[in-house]
């Protein structure tokens, strides 16, 4: 994970950036000859002499006439395979980028809104945020002052909330770890981070982050084609063009593919998007009425999920129903006692023949999370959702989540929290009156703003997600959503739902020790000994 002040020195930024502190991009590593490797991979499909390598398509070492002919052939193959949509050849080339001074809104809306990437990003849960690490668009003077004052006030509220929440977090922490109360100074950092995790809800979506982001050449070309999509077209264009410039300098032949951004006016999402207003507000009210007091509501499922899983297991093993009952088949795939691989930290379910049987069961959930929680939830790329345009979140009324730790703090923390939300929405309204675009106004939305969506998953991906997010150390809202999902599935499909468990319970059932895989981060609760209906947490 990158840290502030890390040794990356070859950053580049747009010279005509629209931000006071431009996004910064550095190429850390890339496949040496991605363009020619893609052509070599394409030729391998029709090769009778084994795998073709990049050197065989480049013309290197040949006489000039032969080299020219070989390169013309290379470029014809590259152009024809690209035009025909045979793009898997471009996935053999990869690049790793260091990104700094990019907004969390950009990461949520663009970089992490699809499944084809890997990122290691600095955590707001564990790293304190400074007031100078926020995206500042270059706005006209009156608007710039409103924007900057809002950011500075949000940061002050963040610091004040940390101070107010630390005593509450300490009381709960030492009720879980009574022996640690004898040496409170030793655990001050752990308690501070608990308070910090909740206080970050008042911070703006424009807060800067830094990360290592690794993608294929194909994904980068798709970025370039779609960089003008909402919600952050200005920032996305600057970052994506800097990424492309860095990679194209490394491998100039990639320019031959000629990929350019689709004009914003031609993008279907811009054409179809309604302006924020009563429509988005009415949709939110309809959604909330359906959701009730839940964080996640089971909307739909295959009516015969248990049988589907059992049938898939029998088909893998070649056994008829008379030889393997539904219960026995499901246990082979889901019971850690029968499948101890489920308890290992190296997740292999997608690679197991029996594990893949779990993809036969499907679910759909209506979910409402804060932007902060959803930024983590979306990292589970096998449980996808169509997330809303950010302009639909810019309603006239504050619409935000309230973490549990805020509520028992004697009223002072919750009063400050709600006041901060009101003032943030007021600043956003003032910028709207000054004609500032929703793109830049949205940077001020707090991490707490609600995101509504329908999330779908097969049982294979959902089991993995719950094994991570039912942990008592998981982000509070995702933990709550996962608990509600597991309980709802268990109510209608007990033979499947009983195996949706936190990591400690899975490891306990599998006979793996230590039971808790978190080491010093053990939550203090022997969850594996409790009935799921009794699971509860404040921290």
pLDDT digits (tens, 9 = 90+) for 52-98: 999 999 999 899 999 999 999 999 999 999 999 999 999 999 999 99
Instruction: State residue 274's pLDDT score.
Output: 52
Length of the chain: 539
Closest alpha carbon to 225 in 180, 186, 258, 273: 258
Residue 120 three-state SS? strand
Question: What is the spatial distance between Cα 204 and Cα 130, in angstroms, rounded to a whole number?
Answer: 12
Beta strands in 4-84 (DSSP E): 24-30
Three-state DSSP class for residue 385: strand
Instruction: Name residue, tokens 């690490």.
Output: 133
> Of 525, 488, 523, which Cα lies nearest the Cα of 299?
488
Angle, to 10 degrees, between the axis of helix 459-469 and the axis of helix 503-510?
100
pLDDT of 130: 84
Residue 538: the pLDDT is: 83
User: Max alpha carbon distance in the chain (Å)?
Assistant: 83
Beta-carbon count within 10 A of 130 CB: 11
Per-residue confidence (pLDDT) for residue 4, from 0 to 100: 41
Grouping H, G, I as helix, E, B as strand and the rest as coil, residue 23 is coil
CA 42 and chain centroid, separation: 32
- CA 102 to CA 234: how far, in whole Å? 12
Looking at residue 395, the DSSP 8-state letter turns out to be -
Which residue in the block uniquely carries the two structure tokens 């739902």? Answer: 497
CA 148 to CA 154: how far, in whole Å? 10
Residue with tokens 């889901």: 334
pTM of the model: 0.94
Per-residue CA distances from 8 to 67, 72, 236, 314 (Å): 38, 38, 21, 53
Q: What letter does residue 109 receive in the DSSP assignment?
A: I
- Distance, in Å, from the CA atom of 53 to the CA atom of 36, rounded to the nearest integer, reads 8
d(CA 244, CA 227): 12
Residues of the chain falling short of pLDDT 70: 1-7, 274-278, 408-410
Buried b (16+ CB within 10 A) or exposed e, 180-199: eeeeeeeeeebbbbbbbbbb
Provide the token pair at 457.
């998953």
pLDDT, position 30: 97
Q: Residue 218: which of 75, 37, 381, 70 has the closest Cα?
A: 37
Element holding 363 (H helix, E strand)? strand 362-370
Q: Report yes or no: 102 and 23 within 8 Å, Cβ to Cβ.
A: yes
Query: How many CB atoms sit inside 10 A of residue 237's CB?
Result: 18
User: Which residue in 73, 360, 16, 8 sits closest to 213, CA to CA?
Assistant: 8
Name the token pair of 249: 């300098």
| Strand arrangement, sheet containing 362-370 | 296-301, 362-370, 450-458
Q: How far apart are CA 65 and CA 73, in angstroms?
A: 12
Residue whose tokens read 């009425």? 289
- How far, in Å, CA of 397 to CA of 428, rounded? 11
């Amino acid at each position: 994970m990158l840290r502030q002040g890390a040794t990356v020195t070859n950053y580049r930024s747009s010279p005509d950036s629209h931000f006071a502190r431009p996004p910064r991009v550095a190429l850390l590593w890339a496949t040496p000859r991605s363009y020619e490797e893609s052509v070599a991979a394409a030729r391998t499909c029709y090769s009778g002499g084994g795998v073709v390598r990049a050197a065989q398509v480049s013309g290197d070492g040949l006489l000039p006439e032969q080299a020219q002919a070989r390169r013309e052939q290379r470029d014809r193959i590259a152009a024809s395979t690209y035009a025909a949509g045979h793009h898997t050849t471009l996935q053999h080339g990869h690049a790793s980028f260091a990104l700094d001074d990019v907004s969390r809104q950009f990461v949520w809306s663009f970089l992490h809104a699809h499944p084809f990437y890997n990122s290691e990003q600095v955590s707001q849960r564990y790293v304190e945020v400074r007031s100078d690490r926020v995206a500042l668009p270059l706005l006209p003077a009156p608007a710039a002052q409103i924007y900057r004052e809002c950011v500075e006030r949000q940061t002050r509220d963040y610091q004040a909330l940390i101070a107010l929440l630390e005593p509450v977090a300490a009381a709960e922490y030492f009720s879980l770890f009574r022996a640690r109360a004898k040496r409170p100074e030793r655990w001050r950092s752990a308690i501070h981070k608990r308070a910090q995790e909740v206080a970050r809800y008042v911070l703006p979506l424009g807060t800067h982050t830094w990360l290592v982001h690794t993608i294929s050449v194909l994904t980068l070309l798709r970025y370039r084609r779609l960089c003008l999509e909402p919600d952050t077209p200005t920032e996305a264009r600057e970052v994506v063009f800097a990424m492309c410039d860095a990679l194209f300098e490394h491998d100039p032949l990639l320019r031959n593919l000629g990929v350019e951004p689709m004009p914003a006016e031609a993008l279907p999402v811009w054409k179809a998007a309604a302006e924020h207003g009563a429509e988005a507000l009415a949709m939110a009210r309809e959604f909330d009425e359906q959701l009730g007091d839940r964080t996640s509501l089971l909307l739909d499922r295959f009516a015969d999920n248990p049988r589907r899983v059992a049938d898939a297991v029998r088909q893998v093993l070649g056994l008829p129903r008379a030889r393997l009952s539904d219960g026995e088949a499901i246990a082979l795939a889901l019971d850690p006692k029968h499948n101890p691989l489920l308890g290992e930290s190296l997740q292999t379910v997608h690679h197991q023949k029996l594990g893949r049987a779990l993809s036969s069961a499907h679910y759909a959930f209506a979910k409402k999370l804060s932007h902060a929680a959803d930024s983590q939830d979306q990292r589970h790329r096998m449980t996808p959702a169509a997330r809303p345009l950010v302009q639909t979140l810019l309603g006239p009324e504050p619409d935000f989540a309230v973490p549990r730790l805020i509520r028992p703090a004697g009223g002072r923390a919750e009063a400050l929290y709600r006041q901060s939300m009101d003032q943030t929405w007021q600043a956003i309204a003032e910028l709207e009156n000054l004609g500032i675009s929703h793109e830049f106004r949205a940077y001020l939305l707090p991490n707490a703003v609600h995101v509504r969506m329908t999330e779908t998953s097969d049982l294979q991906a959902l089991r993995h997600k719950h094994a991570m997010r039912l942990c008592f150390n998981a982000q509070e809202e995702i933990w709550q959503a996962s608990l509600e999902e597991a309980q709802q599935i268990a109510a209608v499909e007990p033979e499947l739902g009983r195996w949706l468990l936190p990591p400690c319970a899975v490891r306990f059932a599998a006979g793996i020790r230590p039971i808790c895989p978190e080491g010093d981060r053990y939550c203090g609760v022997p969850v594996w000994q409790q009935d799921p209906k009794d699971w509860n947490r404040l921290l």
